[in-house]
């Protein structure tokens, strides 16, 4: 029977709770937590996980196509903030960026998102565009959100990991 297993760091206990709640809300009747060194695996067995997550497959995700099914695309288009929150909570961060210009140091918040999958990077850019968040690629596998208004928008949708 298929199992959905999501590994979460012990550092963010509310994310672990949110992961378990999401599994229960979507499909699972029973969700288990398996404590491991430094992390917890939140898992549920169910025959329909592969229907809900058709992107699953053998091999590394950056070496195979990651494409949303039409029904998934419709959901993301309706709720891009939830999608972006999941992306940034898994593969992103909010940092204090420090720059020195003309001998003066400036500190401002910035979001970074990195992923080796070009498809996942494209989905992130698409969802950010739907939200009206300005972003720029700062490397082939990472993007930055640094404009004050866009950081404020992401603060509304992403929030702290806590």
Q: What is the mean pLDDT of residues 5-12?
A: 91
Which of 160, 148, 158, 1 is CA-nearest to residue 84?
158
Range list of β-strands (E), 17-140: 32-36, 39-45, 92-101, 104-114, 136-139
Adjacent-strand bridge partners of 35? 40
pLDDT at residue 2 above 90?
no
Q: Which pLDDT score, from 0 to 100, does residue 137 have?
A: 98
Percentage above 70 pLDDT, the chain: 99
Instruction: Record the tokens describing residue 135, joined without a space.
Output: 């972003």
Q: Which pLDDT score, from 0 to 100, does residue 28 have?
A: 67
pLDDT digits (tens, 9 = 90+) for 30-60: 899 999 999 999 999 988 888 888 888 788 8
Q: What is the mean pLDDT of residues 85-114?
A: 94
Residues 6+ apart with CB under 8 A from 102: none
Q: What is the mean pLDDT of residues 3-11?
A: 91
Q: What is the mean pLDDT of the chain?
A: 92
pLDDT digits (tens, 9 = 90+) for 63-75: 888 999 999 999 9
Residue 107 near residue 97 (C-beta atoms within 8 A): yes
Reported pTM: 0.85
pLDDT at residue 127 above 70?
yes
Q: Which pLDDT score, from 0 to 100, does residue 54 have?
A: 84
Which of 42, 51, 56 is CA-nearest to residue 14?
42
Instruction: Record the tokens describing residue 7, joined without a space.
Output: 């590994």
């Amino acid at each position: 029977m298929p199992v959905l297993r999501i590994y979460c760091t012990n550092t963010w206990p509310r994310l672990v709770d949110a992961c378990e709640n999401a599994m229960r809300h979507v499909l699972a009747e029973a969700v288990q937590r398996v404590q491991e060194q430094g992390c917890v695996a939140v898992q549920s067995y169910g025959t329909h996980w592969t229907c809900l997550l058709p992107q699953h497959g053998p091999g590394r995700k950056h070496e195979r196509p990651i494409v949303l099914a039409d029904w998934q695309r419709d959901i993301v288009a309706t709720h891009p903030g939830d999608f972006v929150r999941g992306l940034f909570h898994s593969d992103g961060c909010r940092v204090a960026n420090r720059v020195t210009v003309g001998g003066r140091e400036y500190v401002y918040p910035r979001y970074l998102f990195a992923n080796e999958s070009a498809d996942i990077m494209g989905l992130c850019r698409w969802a950010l565009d739907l939200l009206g968040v300005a972003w720029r690629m700062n490397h082939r596998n990472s993007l930055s959100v640094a404009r004050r208004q866009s950081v404020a928008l992401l603060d509304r949708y992403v929030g702290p990991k806590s």
